[in-house]
Structure 1
Amino acid sequence: MPHFFSNKRLIVLMVCIIVLVALIGFSIKDRERLTVPEQFMKDSVGWVQSIFIKPAQYVAGFFENISEMKNIYEENKILKSRLDEFAALSVELQLVQKENKSLQEMLDTKESLFDYSLRPALVIHRSPDRWSEYIGINKGEQHGIEKNMAVITAHGLIGKVRNVSQFTSTVQLLTDHDRTNRVSAMVLGEESVFGFIEGYDHERGTLMFKKIDTEAPVEVDQTVISSGKGGMFPRGLIIGKIVHVEPDEYGLTKNAYVEPAANFYDMDFVMVVERSGTSLERELIIEEEGDDL
């Protein structure tokens, strides 16, 4: 009798194993539809998740909103401070404009060192001589072009009109080595620093900014512009940026190497600058003619 029961238990165990393996195989194989128990389990789990996900999202959103409110508060403080600065600058600008208007009325003039107009021109030729840097343009006396007018590209100053004919003109570039080829320039900074653009260093590819006072605060990366004090050029024409500063050979002044803003070797179109304000040279001529009369 005991032997029979032991065989019976063995048979039940084997049947259970077979059923288990069949169930495992049935659940593993690819099926297009889930069984009813599987659907019930998934729906139940999904329902429970949907119950808990909303409170979790609400709590997470609550803390996220608090963090965003804090950031907005900080940004609002910064924006308010900038608005205060803007208001102060606006008032200061209005005062400066009013003062400038009063000074102009006192001087009985509306002219400025910044007043100028532009005349576009096409580059028609270039001098092949490296030591005589000239280009020709298709505008001349008939188009209102005059000798010594500044010539620029979209990036910066390149030179001045040297000779004028009826329909064409010759432009002397800043890279030309003529001793008389120089431009009165200044450095943009808290203090006005003046000097002259004279000569070109072909090895460095930079213009020479000379006759700078030894005590002048000149630094690398400062922008150099025309000063407007040379008589013909208006103020504010961009020349380039300082890349190096050193004392001159005698130690009396400083020299700066200026990387040109304009490309002297890729020019198709240029603009001739006609200064609107009365130049110093013209004023002197008018005064001399008045004395003669």
Structure 2
Amino acid sequence: MRGASVDAVVVEGARKRFGEVAALDGVDLAVPSGELRALLGPNGAGKTTLVRALATLSRLDGGRAEVAGVDVAADPAGVRARIGVVGQHAAVDEVLTGRANLRMFARLHHLPAAGARRRADELLDLFGLVEAADRPVSGYSGGMRRRLDLAAGMVLSPAVLFLDEPTTGLDPRGRAQVWDAVRELVRGGTTVLMTTQYLDEADQLADRVTVLERGRVLAEGTPAELKARVGGAHLVFVVQEGHDLDRAAAAVAGLGAPRTDVEERRVDLAVAGGAGDLVRAVRALDAEGIEVADIALRAPTLDEAFLALTGQVVA
């Protein structure tokens, strides 16, 4: 494990039980400063339990943890001074304006009035909310509210930000806005530990992913490394006429072991030759006079990697 001098989050042998259930069963984790780490896992895997312990909202039964170089058990107040926490549900006041919300949060963190005003203005600019700053939050879109939530979590310029399901319930535009805001935070040097139920979100944002299951670390790596565990690319095509399906599968059998879906008129086979196999498949199908409605070379997804690792859907 890396030393605390270069890791913003260090967890060693973390244990936490609720009755007979081991929510955390010897978790080790190291998150380097400036990294965005995604925590994935099915319900009951221990994601929320771990984040709550790191954010000083609950205590571990065993093991140790440091956040921003501060021992969580020995100095929880010191940890709280160095972190931001953005929960799944909005914490902002809908009656107040965006600017008033941020000033209120700054004052609650004991910033003087002038400092609170200055910090609110900085955050409104950082999160692209200047034009909406003096409108009541009740009129904000979902993406704008979530960005305001992120801004509120950054009032003290925390070294580490904990994000719990940052885009749940948002439409594609809102998700994209939040993703941009999170990327900007990481570029600015903030370390982010994020839980998410959206595998594409982890794929888009995370430097590394840690998969938890039954309170233990099941796998860890970059999104590309985890996807590589599933295997290489797949060549997928749909024949124009269903009666050509078997003949189409036979035509490309030399490239791999094709799987057919009669209902979808689809052929799917794992290939190792990349774009070259796509060209060879097109030529083989054309030689047989088989028309295709669609054909593509598809890389494995993080969803597939997760399912291969856990055999479950993420939640």
Q: TM (normalized to structure 1)?
A: 0.21
Q: Indicate the structure (1 or 2) with the bigger Cα radius of gyration.
A: 1
